[in-house]
Amino acid sequence: MLVALGTMAITVVLATLAAYGLYRIKFPGRQTIFRIILATYAFPGVLLLIPLYSLMSAVGLIDRLLALIIVNVTFAAPFAVWMLRAFFRTIPEELEEAAAL
């Protein structure tokens, strides 16, 4: 339960901020960043297991719940950013302007 709640909370916060920033804020390179995030989602998770294990071993997080939360966020965040960016496209900019007033 702790791992699921921790993963969900961290993923929702990070993905919401990233997706909103990638869709609404105009800056050079935002399409490139979004494509990189989408490309990380395309890689199979098995390719990342050995580097993640080495990283967790170096940091000393083997057999800890925090390591499992970090790994789950690593795999869930690109998909969540992609989905939330599509959601933010459906919200009209006029609605945000009206809320700001």
| Spans of all domains in the chain | 2-100
Per-residue pLDDT tens digits for 39-61:
887 878 788 888 889 999 999 99
The torsion angles phi and psi of 27, rounded to 5 degrees, stand at -150, 155
Per-residue pLDDT tens digits for 33-44:
988 988 887 878
Give the domain 2-100 fold.
Answer: MetI-like fold (1.10.3720)
pLDDT at 96: 84
Q: How many CA atoms lie within 13 A of 12 on its CB side?
A: 6
CB atoms within 10 A of CB 57: 11
d(C-alpha 21, C-alpha 98), whole Å: 19
DSSP 8-state assignment for residue 72 = H
- Residue 81: closest CA among 29, 30, 26: 30
pLDDT at 38: 83
